[in-house]
Amino acid sequence: MADTIFTGKRIKNACLIALCMTGILLLRLSFDQFQSYSNGAEALEKGNRTDAVMYFERVLHAHVPFSPLENKARNNLMGLASRFEKEKEYESALLCYETIRTSRYLTRHFFVPGSRDLPFLNDRIASIKAQLLVKDGMVKGFKEGYDQQMGIMNKDYSPSAFWSLVAVSAFWVYIGFIVLWILKRKGVYVYIFCLAFVAWLTGLYMA
Amino acid sequence: MNRYHLIFLLSFAIFIFFLTPDVNTGDGGELTTAAWFLGTAHPSGYPLYLMIGKAITFLPLGNIAFRIAIISALFSSLSLTLIYWLVFRFTASNSAALFSATTLLVSYSYFTQSVVAKFYSLNLFLILLLFSLWALQLCRERPAPGAVHNETQILYLTMFLAGLLTSNHHTGIIILGPVAIAWWLTKSYPLKLRTILTGIALVVAGSLVNSYLIIRGSHGHFFTAVNVDNLTDLWEVISRGAYGSSGTIAVAKNLFHGFGLYWYPLKNLFSILTTNFSYFSYLFFLAGSVWLFRKNLKLFIFIILCLILYGPLLAKITLGSEKKTETDFYIVAHQYFIPALSFFAVVLGAGFYQLERGLKAAQLRLLSKLLPVIFALFPLVFLVSRAADSNYRTNFVPYQVTKDTFSILPSDSVIMTFGDNASYQGWYLKLIGRYREDVCQMSSADQEKIAWMLQGCSRKIYASVFPTFFSEKFTEIVPMIQKHRFYGTDPVKETGAYKKYLYSSGLSIDYLYSPQDVFIKDKKERRRDSGSYFRQRQLEADKLIDYSACFSHFTDDFFSRQLCAHYAMHLTNMARLYSDASYHSTGEKVKVQVNDAKSGYSQPLYTINVTKKNRPYLECSDHLLRFNQWPILYLREKE
């Protein structure tokens, strides 16, 4: 088998390198979050709300799971949005809600982080847009505008996470076993390659 | 952990520190969107890159654009490690190998391509894999125990990698020329029919990655930058037939025409090498070439052949003109020659080995050991330069401009994005980020003909919101346009195909499109004064946009600088709004004209009364334009 390639020492080294790479990424993103959050808090203190939105958004974009700063940035953005709404600055409020929603979607992987916020955000976004559409005479009434916006926001055309994962995994098996066959020439690798290739195509088709 | 692991991890850490935090200009937005949706990118489709991209989108760190950019950092670090390993195998000198790696790491083009989402680092890694296999084969006097020593194995690996290369950037295939020569130089026995057939099967197995394009490129899929419905389409995409004279086949034909026309390509290539490695590098290159020639003639021929093919020959077909535009510098010179830079760095390592040998011969005791290490690490000093011109960590411009482009639009609007930057970044934000889903984004390459791409305005989603728009009859769209619902990132050009139907007026960082009078039935409605609407939207936009990203990026990214000029238009529009005497006139008057370099459009020349209210806008606009003027592009400056 592939025992001379996948030796214990090599696997240990690979794990160690992967760990170091994750550490490097975490350091970079945590640093970005810290810097952006500090800038955002400072901007908020000075009353520069546009800058504050921008910096808090950057905190969310530098997504690190379980980061306390992310939650604080999200709360600050929510606070800003409701303040804008109270001041009847609807487009600015819309910007804040859209910013949080987009940040969540831009940091999604198997699932959308902070997806518990999405129903509330969708509702606020649809409500504000419906109000603005009524004001501009684009729709007949609030309900029509609201339903139209909710209709758009409830559709998601992203590929299936499960089938995407099948396609990605099968792809690496397909490539890996061809290389293994070249190095080791075991007939069984050809069968695995064929199976992986079919699985890859199936994953791509179904995703 | 050994020294190779350390080289890899250190270079990876450096690239990650400077990595773009969000979407970057150029193809980044498109590649990211295509990877997320398992769609297709522009020709040649890049299925290998997209599969790697999709795998990395499952990483629960950062945003999706950042994750895709990690691919560049990863493969650049692997390439550097490979170069380190290879030079060490040639010279048995750590310092020489380190010198090659550090020199390449800090070179402007290599560094920049390692910190943005692009496929060039993956392309380079595949090229270097083949290069290393055959360079090693040429060096080998007898097989090392336990290593991949079998000639057939190497041939098979080569065939498989050749197949894989067809699924990434087309310049990758060039390496097969020198590899064929290397095989001819090393072959010790005639090929058996079985070996040939297995080799062909492996090329097919590698190129089967392109079947991705058939499955995910058909018309029914949500995101496709190119459609592949049959084998003819597949060939068109892989051979980049859509690019006409710039397509792979057409370009290859051009290679053998006009051998007298190599003067400017050579001149341009030397300019690129000098900019990236400085004049001093030629001394090392010369010393390295002589040493390689004397040590192993076959290896020398192989390396020089690689350098010639990825240098002067590639320059002949891509960078052969006397006068070069910013696009030539930024797109061609900055991206296509990364393999040439890498081969050059390998020879530099051999040249450095000569210096090291000289120092050893001088018998300076400790200095003989210490100086080579210091010299090998010395290039890292130039990281300071990269922090000033390629610090993509600070570049939020593409994301921010794109976001603001959408933010200022009224609900249920349509926006036309022109060119790669505006369109690709828009797709990323709108399709993955689902920003302003009420807005329909149509894309077009230019205004020469009316041709819309609807990736950002899928009929599935928007048919109910914009029913008249999908009727494809302009007269039916006119009422929607009259409600100020049609915008563009570029003005309607006088000579373009849209002029017959539309005219445009600058509004904040976008352009508002209005129908030409002939399409308006009610005469009272024709060219009505939109002054109050402009004023209201301009003021609203001022609350929504944030141009600070254009003051805080340390990159000489040509396109980011172009995008920033849009904010200058907004600022001058604001200055005009507040130029009335009621805003405490200072008595000064200034003449202001902003050029939108991307579309070639110049705002009219305005004479503006300076008031206390508009002075900050005028000053800000001036500073912004100064900070983002593009003649300081690194490659251009060095020329």
Residues from chain B that touch A33, judged by Cβ atoms under 8 A, are none
B602 bridge partner residues: B595
In chain B, the N- to C-terminal Cα span, in Å, equals 43
Tens digit of pLDDT for each residue in B605-630? Answer: 888 889 989 999 999 999 998 888 86
Decide if A65 and B60 are in contact by the 8 Å CB cutoff: yes
pLDDT at residue B523 in the model: 65
Q: Give B445 or A72, the one with higher predicted confidence.
A: A72
Tokens coding B302: 């192989």
Residue A111 CB neighbours (<10 A): 9
pLDDT-derived band at B593 (thresholds 50, 70, 90) equals: confident
pLDDT at residue B525 in the model: 63
For residues B455-481, average pLDDT: 85
B516 burial level (CB within 10 Å; 0-12, 13-18, 19+): middle
d(CA B385, CA B112): 12
AA identity, residue B416: M
The least confident of B316-320, B535-539, B579-583, B598-602 is B598-602
Decide if A25 and B546 are in contact by the 8 Å CB cutoff: no
pLDDT at residue B590 in the model: 85
Q: What angle do CA B99, B105, B111 make, to 5 degrees?
A: 160
Question: From B161, which residue of chain A is nearest by alpha-carbon distance?
Answer: A179
pLDDT at residue B488 in the model: 94
Asked whether the CA dihedral A63, A66, A71, A74 is positive or negative, the reply is positive
Question: From A162, which residue of chain B is nearest by alpha-carbon distance?
Answer: B58
Minimum-distance CB partner of B160 among A28, A138, A182: A182
CB B517 within 8 A of CB B526: yes
Tens digit of pLDDT for each residue in A67-76? Answer: 999 999 999 9
| Domain boundaries, given as residue ranges, for chain B | 3-392, 397-542, 548-638
Decide if B61 and A25 are in contact by the 8 Å CB cutoff: yes
A72: left (phi over 0), alpha (psi -120 to 50) or beta: alpha
Tens digit of pLDDT for each residue in B188-236? Answer: 777 788 889 999 999 999 999 999 999 999 877 888 888 898 889 888 8
Grouping H, G, I as helix, E, B as strand and the rest as coil, residue B28 is: helix
CATH T-level assignment (fold) for domain A17-156: 1.25.40
B423 burial level (CB within 10 Å; 0-12, 13-18, 19+): buried
Q: Give B243 or A21, the one with higher predicted confidence.
A: A21
The least confident of A120-129, B82-91, B245-254, B470-479 is B245-254
pLDDT at residue B368 in the model: 78
ω into B582 cis (within 30 of 0): no
Does the pLDDT of residue B532 top 70, yes or no? yes
pLDDT-derived band at B526 (thresholds 50, 70, 90) equals: low
pLDDT at residue B148 in the model: 46
Asked whether the CA dihedral B607, B613, B616, B621 is positive or negative, the reply is negative
Decide if B438 and A152 are in contact by the 8 Å CB cutoff: yes
Share of chain B above pLDDT 90, in %: 53
Name which of A3, A13, A28 to mutate to probe chain B: the one with the most chain B Cβ atoms within 10 A of its Cβ. A28
Residues from chain B that touch A195, judged by Cβ atoms under 8 A, are none
H or E element in which residue B260 lies: none
State the nearest Cα–Cα gap between B189 and chain A, in angstroms.
19
Decide if B66 and A61 are in contact by the 8 Å CB cutoff: yes
State the nearest Cα–Cα gap between A202 and chain B, in angstroms.
9
Tokens coding B308: 């010639």
State the helix-helix crossing angle for B419-427 and B558-577, rounded to 10 degrees: 90
Does the pLDDT of residue B95 top 90, yes or no? yes
B45: left (phi over 0), alpha (psi -120 to 50) or beta: left
d(CA B392, CA B72): 13
Name the nearest CA neighbour of B465 among A158, A97, A139: A139
Question: Measured between alpha carbons, how far is residue B125 from residues A24, B60, B405 in Å?
Answer: 22, 25, 37
Share of chain B above pLDDT 70, in %: 93
Longest CA–CA span in chain B (Å) reads 95
Residues from chain B that touch A157, judged by Cβ atoms under 8 A, are 37, 222-223, 458, 460-461
Grouping H, G, I as helix, E, B as strand and the rest as coil, residue B493 is: coil
pLDDT at residue B256 in the model: 66
Decide if A167 and B38 are in contact by the 8 Å CB cutoff: yes
Does the pLDDT of residue B639 top 60, yes or no? no
B189 burial level (CB within 10 Å; 0-12, 13-18, 19+): exposed
Decide if B211 and A201 are in contact by the 8 Å CB cutoff: yes
Asked whether the CA dihedral B49, B53, B55, B61 is positive or negative, the reply is positive
Q: Give B146 or B493, the one with higher predicted confidence.
A: B493
pLDDT at residue B218 in the model: 85
Half-sphere exposure of B585 (CA within 13 A, CB side): 12
Decide if B157 and A179 are in contact by the 8 Å CB cutoff: yes
DSSP string, B359-401: HHHTT-THHHHHHHHHHHHGGGGGHHHHHHHEEGGG--HHHHH
Residue B529 Cα to chain centre, angstroms: 43
CB B17 within 8 A of CB A57: no
Name which of B71, B412, B530 to mutate to probe chain A: the one with the most chain A Cβ atoms within 10 A of its Cβ. B412
pLDDT at residue A3 in the model: 59
Q: What angle do CA B230, B236, B237 make, to 5 degrees?
A: 90
pLDDT at residue B251 in the model: 72
How many residues are listed for chain A in this entry? 207
Decide if B61 and A182 are in contact by the 8 Å CB cutoff: no
CA torsion A118-A120-A123-A125 (nearest 10°) is: -70
Decide if A172 and B55 are in contact by the 8 Å CB cutoff: yes
Tokens coding A196: 């992986």
Minimum-distance CB partner of B37 among A63, A158, A172: A158
Tens digit of pLDDT for each residue in B270-301? Answer: 989 998 998 989 999 999 999 999 999 999 99
Tens digit of pLDDT for each residue in B318-345? Answer: 887 777 777 788 888 889 999 999 999 9
Residues from chain A that touch B540, judged by Cβ atoms under 8 A, are 91
Residues from chain B that touch A58, judged by Cβ atoms under 8 A, are 21, 396
B532 bridge partner residues: none
Q: Beta strand B510-515 with B606-611: parallel, antiparallel or unpaired?
A: unpaired
pLDDT-derived band at B599 (thresholds 50, 70, 90) equals: low
CB B55 within 8 A of CB B590: no
Tens digit of pLDDT for each residue in B124-152? Answer: 999 999 999 999 988 876 555 544 457 88
Three-state SS string over chain A comes to CHHHCCCHHHHHHHHHHHHHHHHHHHHHHHHHHHHHHHHHHHHHHHCCHHHHHHHHHHHHHCCCCCCHHHHHHHHHHHHHHHHHHHCCCHHHHHHHHHHHHHHHHHCCCCCCCCHHHHHHHHHHHHHHHHHHHHHCCCCCCHHHHHHHHHHHHCCCCCCCHHHHHHHHHHHHHHHHHHHHHHHHCCHHHHHHHHHHHHHHHHHHHHC
Residues from chain A that touch B396, judged by Cβ atoms under 8 A, are 58
Decide if A26 and B65 are in contact by the 8 Å CB cutoff: no
pLDDT at residue B631 in the model: 57
Asked whether the CA dihedral B154, B156, B159, B165 is positive or negative, the reply is negative
Residues from chain A that touch B157, judged by Cβ atoms under 8 A, are 179, 182
Decide if A133 and B412 are in contact by the 8 Å CB cutoff: yes
Residues from chain A that touch B205, judged by Cβ atoms under 8 A, are 178, 193
Average pLDDT of chain A, as a whole number: 93
Size of interface A-B (CB pairs under 8 A): 173
Minimum-distance CB partner of A62 among B21, B37, B64: B21
How many residues are listed for chain B in this entry? 639
Question: From B51, which residue of chain A is nearest by alpha-carbon distance?
Answer: A168
